[in-house]
A and B are shown apart, each in its own frame.
Chain A
């Protein structure tokens, strides 16, 4: 059993409610932070912990906090990004649904560190029932003196509000989220200015993911240095992984980032192996935007080393032979899955979610969807594969926000690693409608160049 810092109490009966949560040791970090620490020392502890943003980008959280501007007389805001929408990702939902007070506790400490008296949770509109759970938890915290005026006699005032979105993946991008919080369309802003200088209502703002803010609780309780001892290298602490696809035990797992990908997939403690005794074909290890990897490159790096479930190891080899940790949305495809079809559904997703501001993304995502649909339905041409490659290259890096990259990478990686499957679809339009291409060489032992 690995270390668990976030979900260790998630299965205690009644943990959703204040009384049980408090009895199990909840809200100790608020007492410690408000009574014994200054905002500056909290930021220092988070820096020492090495905590990296858990939403997908992996940016050091303490550093992000230290950028917040503090102009005289201007309120600052902390905003929690609960717009979890990356296909394959459902970890924040799990945390908020089963142990909501952990998020509220992390938010209070983080609000104190950043000087935010009005803190917002921006939650995706579809998680409607979780809005009620969070609002109930906030009320309970308030009734027990952990929110509101003069918290625990410290002189610190803080309120937390839940802001419900309405169905838009783009609002997970922090500047689009800020626009949406202001009651506008979720069009990302051009940076700079960064939110830390001019965020919501032009006030200094920090936007952090749910899991990132929850992780502040163990960091304050145990100290940044102790937290940094868990994990390997720059992958400190624990990470929530939401596993789905063709596995025996889909669900949310907390890992300490020292385990191998192979152990995560096949161990009964985690995914429990591929469902129905099938073979592993491919995996998208960090949410739909990150490059898909065939089995041979997933379990071992191109250098032949065991690949581990952490930031550095998953990205080993760059995009040529590696992928990314991303949001921790871990999608497994077995031997019966069609890479063309899977890539098509993802392209459709990005076309649907493009905000339409930047031409390369607005037009390019639509073109990619159409071409992939043609190939999938046996109407593709060989030149379509090169055209797809060309379009994704012209989207990547040419848009205001990373949605363009997120739409380009899955298409690029699918062609890079599974080109023969695309070609087979084009060359066998009829047969490809009746059966899948199958495994081919993707699960073979990896060839290591001398």
Chain B
């Protein structure tokens, strides 16, 4: 069953408290981020229904928002998601090569997850790091000035961290 822990519930209450009385729906976007982080990196229909119940709004109000914004994952993703920017300024600086290299190295195409569930590769549009291109988002942070060597190091680092946590 999907349910926030006490700590997550405290964060939920903090987010809702930012908006006027009766306007708790305004907290929907931040609460969906919280839910996604809390329940395995994606939003199942069970999670969406749970969020609707917590915010006392109709499930459809949650569904229409979850399907509109690109950061919400509506299916399971890998433990590490490589979201590589492919818009103009990154393209000029070789993002196509980086995307191809990651795909080759992990043997997946954009939109796919490796069989071991560790990595998902996704192409995204401009993330506001144009001066530090090519780049990708990985969780909460940006990895910038990417080269093949840097990609190798990042993948190694992820594998090591995952092995340690197992």
Contact = CB atoms under 8 A, between A and B. Distances in A.
Interface string B135-155: 001001100000000000000
Contacts, number: 144
Given A183-B65, A244-B133, A166 B29 contact: yes
Interface in A101-116: none
A167 B70 contact: yes
A422 interface: no
B87 A349 contact: yes
Nearest to A346: B88
Interface in B37-95: 55, 57, 61, 64-65, 68-72, 86-89, 91-93
A447 interface: no
B: interface residue count bin: 35 or more
B88 to A, nearest CB: 5
Given A250-B131, A250-B132, A164 B29 contact: yes
B130 A87 contact: yes
Nearest to B27: A183
B25 to A, nearest CB: 4
Contacts of B117: none
A84 B88 CA distance: 16
Interface string A183-218: 111100000000000000100000000000000000
Interface residues of A, number: 56
Contacts of B92: 245-246, 331, 333, 337, 342
Interface stretch (A37-45, A125-133, A297-305): A125-133
A148 interface: no
Nearest to B33: A164
A342 B90 CA distance: 10
Given A87-B89, A348-B87, 17 more contacts: A87-B126, A88-B89, A88-B130, A125-B29, A125-B69, A182-B25, A184-B28, A184-B61, A184-B64, A186-B69, A201-B20, A201-B26, A243-B131, A251-B131, A288-B87, A348-B86, A349-B125
19 contacts: A85-B128, A87-B89, A89-B128, A89-B130, A90-B128, A93-B129, A126-B71, A126-B137, A164-B33, A166-B70, A169-B126, A182-B23, A183-B25, A244-B130, A245-B93, A329-B130, A337-B92, A348-B125, A349-B88
